Amino acid sequence: MQTLNLHELSLILDQNLVILPEDAQQHLLAENQKPNVVLAVDHIPETSPQAIIEEEYAEEANELAYEGNFEKGILVVFQGNSLASSHREFLLKVLGAVGCSLKDVALVSTKHLLESAPESINQLNPHKCLVFGSFNHPMMKYKTSTYETISGDSIYFFADALEVLAESVPLKRNLWNGLQVLFQIKK
C-alpha cells in the first residue's frame, strides 16, 4: 500500500483531519517498535490546532493596539503609557483644529508601540504619522527636525511631547504652523 502525504490525504477526505501532538508522539513511539507500518507520520502538520492557535496569537501580538477608528489613516503616537486628562483634552483640541477626531485616527502610546513588532506600523499602513515626544523606535529614523512635514514610508510630523507643548505658547504656535502645512489648511 502507498503512503499518502497530507496534501494527497486532503484531496480524498471530506472532513478536517486533526492530529494532536500527544497522539503523534504516541504514534511515533509505536512506529519505532513496529518496523513495517503503513501510515507514517513524519511531523506534526503546520495546520494542527495548536499551530493555528500559535499563528493567530503571533498575528495578534504583531498587531498594534490603538484607540480610535483610524478612518482617515492618521497614526498619532504620544510619549508615555497613558495621557493625563488635560493632555488628552489638548490633543483632541489639536485634532479638532485640523478637522479630525478620535474616529479618524489611531491613537497609540509609546508603551504599546514599543511592545509591538516594528512592522506593526507597516501593517496599519498610515497615510500620516503624528509623533509627540521622543523615544527609541525605528520610526524615529525619519526625524530630521520638529514641526515640519517629512516624507518617508508615510508622511511624518514630529513634535515635542504633549506635556511640553501644553505648557508653551511658542511651541503651540510652531505646532499649529506645521500642522497647517501637513493638513493643507489655508487661513
Q: Which pLDDT does position 19 carry in this prediction?
A: 67
Q: Where are the domains of the chain?
A: 6-62, 74-182
Instruction: Examine the pLDDT at 119 and tell me if it is beyond 70.
Output: yes
Q: Give CATH superfamily name and number for 74-182.
A: Uracil-DNA glycosylase-like domain (3.40.470.10)
CA distance 21 to 40: 14
Q: What is the mean pLDDT of residues 15-23?
A: 65
Please say whether the beta carbons of 28 and 15 come within 8 A: no
Where b means 16+ CB within 10 Å and e means fewer, 37-59 reads eeeeeeebbeebeeeeeeeeeee
Q: What is the mean pLDDT of residues 39-66?
A: 57
Instruction: Examine the pLDDT at 50 and tell me if it is beyond 90.
Output: no
Kind plus residue range of the DSSP H or E element containing 30: helix 21-33
Instruction: Examine the pLDDT at 41 and tell me if it is beyond 50.
Output: no
CA distance 31 to 25: 10
The share of the chain scoring above pLDDT 90, in percent, equals: 51
CA distance 91 to 165: 10
